[in-house]
Structure 1
Amino acid sequence: MRTILGMTMAAAIVISAPMAQAETLTDAFIAAYRNSNLLDKQAAVLRAADEDVAQAVATLRPVVEYTLTSGWGRAQSTNNGPFFDAWASTFELSASMMVYDFGRRNLNITLLKETVLATREALRSVEQQVLYDAVSSYVDVQVKGQIVSLRQSNVRLVTQELRAAQDRFEVGEVTRTDVSIAEARLAAARAALAVAEGDLMIAREAYRAATGAYPGSLKSLPRAPGLPKSMEAAQSVALKTHPSILQAQRGVTIRELAIDAAKANFMPTLSGSVSASKNSDGTNEQSFGLSLNQELYSGGAKASGLRQAIANRDGARADLQQAVVSISEAVGSAWAGLAMANAQVQAGDRQIAAAQTAFDGVREEASLGARTTIDVLNAEQELLDARVTRIEAEAQRYLGVYAVLQTMGLLTVEHLGLGIPTYDPAQYYNAVKNAPVHSAQGKALDRIMGKIGN
């Protein structure tokens, strides 16, 4: 891998802007993480889920309101008496609070906390995809650059064969047919080179989309991360760490809490209120009250809600089981793909060696008149195809390692040891979980939002 993918990419260097220092795969990972709009969006979704917890916590607190009214009125003391004009104003301050609701609000808070944890796993899934796109685009740029170099060499070699055929034709050693065949092969080689250059441009665009900038001079790929010794071991890790499974587990817990909340809806609620008012005529009023409320009949809506919550719980359990099946299958498929790539690389080495020997022999025989131009061109094409196949297989083998890591849930900044600060979900959550208005916690929240904005 280091030999093949470490080749100089002449075409890529010509197209790329010169850089003082070559980019590494680690640089690509870091750039992708820092410039990902997908990660920014998912982090914002997570912060919104954090605020749901804060709003639920706020329901445990009293609601304080004030009302200020002022109005003009006209009254007549007797049927024929004079009218009196008067202005009246009232200021009222009131507070109300749910005293007891048989656990509804606390259940809702717990449910929303679980939703936050599930959303964190969704963020980790996005992180894995962002990092995989980075390594995939990095490898693709290198592969496409090497293929461009091979195609350029092919054009030069076919050009030489065309000139040789023309020289032999002039001395009568070959026919016009041999020259025409060489001319056709040269046109095909140039067309293949144009396609390869187009593929390289597409790969560069994908790299820019993944990392935020076009690639410069890319260093050869580092050694791939280690993997477990067996597919079964990889599957065992995946079932414990993959974010899709962990998110599905949270989903089951959320649905179970929703069942408890639906049951609590059958119970009454106890609320209290207190108010004080002052009128413009100098009178003051104060009041305090408790209210016990319960629906005796709601048309079967609450019973339906409970059945619905149970059905949703059953669906969440099925989702969890399917997630286990899907991730196990994904690990197995990635592991098999890696094994196939390994076999292709080994076969490619043997194919290249045999094709090189055949090409050298055919060209030597052609110089002695024992082979035709078409024989040389066919042998060269077989050698070129073998080299292209070998490069692509080596790239698939390298990417296969990261594909296995992704299916295991380990393609993260932390596991790769990139050594950069990452988005800390707990920081924002801890700043808002108690529903601050504007206090020391609120100022801390402002600082966090400022850092996020930067």
Structure 2
Amino acid sequence: MLDSLSLAYSNNPSLNAQRSKTRSTDEGVAIAMSGYRPQISASASVSRSTLEASRTSTVNTLQGSQPTGYALVPVTVTGTSTNTYYPKSVSLSLVQPIWHGFQTANSVKQSEAAVRAQRELTRSTEQDVLFDAAQVFMDVIRDTAIVSLRETNVKFLTEQVRAARDRFNVGEGTKTDVAQADARLQLAISQLNAARATVNASRATFRQVVGIEPKRLTGSIPIEKLLPKSVQAGLEFAQGGHPGILAGVSNIDVAAFNVKVLEAELMPSVNLQASASRSVDPSPGTNWQNSTQIGVNVTVPLYQGGAEYARIRQAKENLGTARIQLDVTRDQVRQAVIATWGQLEAASASVIAAKAQVDAAQLALDGVIQEQRVGQRTTLDVLNAQNELIDAQVNQVTADRNRVVAAFSLASAVGKLSAENLRLKVVRVNPEEHFEQVRDKWFGLRTPDGR
């Protein structure tokens, strides 16, 4: 079982998808942190400009003829001039947020709370996957054992049919004995086929959860060390350690900080702005031009249509929902602990009763067979005793499975079912490592794992 749970921890796609979602949530903190940092942009442009203008001028021209003579006479001349030039410019601008009503600080806290909630959801998925792996492990063992019992039953009944026919042929039995034995044999064959179908389904589920085909499944994990000493102890631990409850607490923080982030939209914002630019050939007659600018921009929102107020009211309602949902989760966890505690107690008692039933059924079958040989029992008595033994053995196998599954279910209900507590031989996935790698990352497209 240890190897199966370890493989499920490392390879289960549902758990790996949840881990990927946690890494994605980590980036939300980096996004929120960007509100502290400057925004820098550069631009460049080049264009072609043509300036066409109309010009009017007065020109003195020589006019006249002989014999009167010549004279200078002013004449007005109208013409068009065209100038083509290529203005070019580059500019650099910087905006440094100074104060936005604590919006950035609350956004960072909100994102960190979302990370904590997502980690607990991943831990909850880890519990579910480990429980599913343990359950399907025991299902395969149970169903394989039942197939073996059904095969033994078919062999036994085949022998009973042969013996009944032999007795009928020598006149010591009746045709009814043969028919009864054959009917039980056909029922046993049907049950065997159904058991084989069930074990195939369990093996397929094992492949889905663990990631490999089941082979020889042996071994167990001392799960009892993770179980509470009493139902009250389980309830107390679960209220402070169950991942569902811890996720609910973090979700309340997310909703509370969201209210503060939205309230910051009603407050003034202050930004430091700076820019520098250089232009070449900006206009006819100008070769170049430089300009710089630095200043503080203060924006005071007065009224933005009312949507900002609606968003704040909506966020407060979502906060109330998160608090109610936490109460719901606490009640669900309490119910699960009490229910699984009862299931474990019932399963443990069933194991003892099933073993006693098997011992008694085996003793009864041996006695009936001996009594049949001396004529004190009929074939039907033997068939009934064999059927009771098989049922008792199936009950014992099922009870053993139910006890182990109930123990894992209780460990999950109190929040203790984890790779660390089970001491699985796996490479532990530490979400803190990825979080620290991306939390204060200023730039870069590659993820920490190189994608």
- Please indicate, yes or no, whether the TM-score normalized by the shorter chain is above 0.5: yes
Q: How does 1:364-383 map to 2 (within 5 A)?
A: 364-383=370-389
1:330 aligns with 2:336: yes
Measured after TM superposition, the shift of residue 222 of structure 1 is 4.4
1:304 aligns with 2:324: no
Specify the SS of the correspondent of 2:420: helix
Partner of 1:243: 243
**Could you tell me whether the CA contact under 8 Å between 1:58 and 1:435 is conserved in 2?**
no
Q: How does 1:191-230 map to 2 (within 5 A)?
A: 191-226=190-225, 227-230=227-230
CA distance in 2, matches of 1:354, 1:219: 28
CA distance in 2, matches of 1:415, 1:28: 16
CA distance in 1, matches of 2:340, 2:200: 28
Aligned-pair RMSD on alpha carbons? Answer: 1.5
Measured after TM superposition, the shift of residue 86 of structure 1 is 1.1
CA distance in 1, matches of 2:254, 2:219: 47
Specify the SS of the correspondent of 2:54: coil
Q: Which stretch shifts more, 116-125 or 280-289? A: 280-289
Q: Gapped runs of 5+ residues in structure 2?
A: 56-78, 282-287
CA distance in 1, matches of 2:189, 2:220: 29
1:77 aligns with 2:53: yes
Partner of 1:6: none
Partner of 2:157: 158
Measured after TM superposition, the shift of residue 404 of structure 1 is 0.5
Q: Percent of aligned positions with the same letter in both sequences? A: 32
Letter in 2 for 1:274: A
Q: Which stretch shifts more, 212-221 or 244-253? A: 212-221
1:429 aligns with 2:435: yes
**Could you tell me whether the CA contact under 8 Å between 2:136 and 2:205 is conserved in 1?**
yes
**Could you tell me whether the CA contact under 8 Å between 2:30 and 2:440 is conserved in 1?**
yes
Q: How does 1:104-143 map to 2 (within 5 A)?
A: 104-143=103-142
Give the TM-score, by structure 1 length. 0.90
Letter in 1 for 2:253: T
**Could you tell me whether the CA contact under 8 Å between 1:57 and 1:435 is conserved in 2?**
no
Letter in 2 for 1:31: L
Measured after TM superposition, the shift of residue 254 of structure 1 is 1.2
CA distance in 1, matches of 2:117, 2:223: 30
Specify the SS of the correspondent of 2:376: coil
CA distance in 1, matches of 2:378, 2:41: 98
Aligned residues between the structures: 421
Specify the SS of the correspondent of 1:78: strand
**Could you tell me whether the CA contact under 8 Å between 1:101 and 1:269 is conserved in 2?**
yes
Deviations 1:217-260 (A, max 9, x none): 12243443322211110111111111000000001111111222
Change (3 A) 1:429 1:228: same
Letter in 2 for 1:363: I
Deviations 1:12-56 (A, max 9, x none): xxxxxxxxxxxxx11111111111111221111111111111111
Partner of 2:42: 66
Deviations 1:80-101 (A, max 9, x none): 3211111111111111122211
Measured after TM superposition, the shift of residue 353 of structure 1 is 2.5
Q: Which stretch shifts more, 215-224 or 234-243? A: 215-224
- Bigger Rg over Cα: 2
Specify the SS of the correspondent of 2:47: strand
Partner of 2:270: 270
**Could you tell me whether the CA contact under 8 Å between 2:223 and 2:422 is conserved in 1?**
no
Letter in 1 for 2:33: V
Specify the SS of the correspondent of 2:296: strand
Partner of 1:348: 354
Letter in 1 for 2:202: A
CA distance in 1, matches of 2:152, 2:160: 12
CA distance in 2, matches of 1:187, 1:120: 54
**Could you tell me whether the CA contact under 8 Å between 1:62 and 1:97 is conserved in 2?**
yes
Q: Gapped runs of 5+ residues in structure 1?
A: 1-24
Partner of 1:286: 292
Letter in 1 for 2:108: I
Change (3 A) 1:316 1:91: same
Partner of 2:234: 234
**Could you tell me whether the CA contact under 8 Å between 2:2 and 2:221 is conserved in 1?**
no
Change (3 A) 1:191 1:397: same
CA distance in 2, matches of 1:219, 1:355: 27
**Could you tell me whether the CA contact under 8 Å between 1:36 and 1:210 is conserved in 2?**
yes
CA distance in 2, matches of 1:29, 1:145: 19
CA distance in 2, matches of 1:397, 1:348: 12
Q: Higher strand proportion, which one?
A: 2
